Amino acid sequence: MQMQAVDGEVHADLTLDGRMEGAPGLAHGGAIAAALDDLFGGVLVLLETPAVTARLNVEYRLPVPLHTPLHLVARCTATEGRKLHMAGTMSAGEAIVAEASAMFVRVEIAHFEASGVPVPDAWRSWGGAARG
Ligand SMILES: CCCCCCCCCCCC(=O)SCCNC(=O)CCNC(=O)[C@H](O)C(C)(C)COP(=O)(O)OP(=O)(O)OC[C@H]1O[C@@H](n2cnc3c(N)ncnc32)[C@H](O)[C@@H]1OP(=O)(O)O
């Protein structure tokens, strides 16, 4: 999912296809949650802060049709020590189809390196959990 930073928010456009189908013709709720969680990951890049999702809440307002352009927006609403509070929406046209809030917790880069897969070099210059 391609993201753009605009005035402290992260925006993305997305069209879900049959791979993300739940009920016939409609997006699976897990795909909607994953897209919003991924967008919150984009907010971390904006903040230059490595963190992970500790809690994710999604309110499904309307069924989300497949093959329909969706617009997503997310931002960090507050920080509290290592905790980052996020809010985001998914819209189809003028209608908000889903809203999400999340709590991320700042971690050190070592949290990701533990997987054994190298992290992008840029991440190393960013402050980790100790920054909170
Ligand atoms: C550079 C950019 C790159 C960008 C980086 C891009 C990364 C992509 C990430 C994309 C999003 C994901 O998919 S992330 C993948 C899914 N999530 C995960 O795998 C996370 C798994 N969970 C964990 O690793 C851990 O539980 C942590 C790191 C979240 C917390 O463990 P910890 O580090 O030991 O910290 P801990 O002391 O337990 O918690 C710190 C504070 O947060 C609170 N807290 C912790 N978990 C919760 C929770 N679920 N609900 C409420 N509160 C919680 C604690 O009460 C405490 O509050 P207080 O006592 O201080 O008040």
- For residue 131, give the 3-state DSSP assignment: helix
Residue span of the structural domain in which 120 resides: 3-131
DSSP code at position 113: H
Q: Stretch 20-40: mean pLDDT, rounded?
A: 97
Q: What is the mean pLDDT of the chain?
A: 94
Q: Which residue has the tokens 């499904």?
A: 60
Checking if the pLDDT of 128 tops 70, the result is: no
User: What is the model's pTM?
Assistant: 0.94
Residues with CB under 6 A from ligand 1: 37, 41, 44-45, 49-50, 52-55, 81-83, 103, 105, 107, 123, 126
Q: How many domains are there within the chain? A: 1
> pLDDT tens-digit profile of 50-95?
999 999 999 999 999 999 999 999 999 999 999 999 999 999 999 9
Question: How confident is the model at residue 33, as a pLDDT?
Answer: 98
Question: How confident is the model at residue 14, as a pLDDT?
Answer: 97
Which residue has the least CA distance to atom 57 on ligand 1? Answer: 83
Q: Which two tokens stand for residue 33?
A: 């949650």
CATH of the domain at 34: 3.10.129.10
> Could you write out the three-class secondary structure of 11-61?
EEEEECCHHHECCCCEECHHHHHHHHHHHHHHHHHHHCCCEEEEEEEEEEC
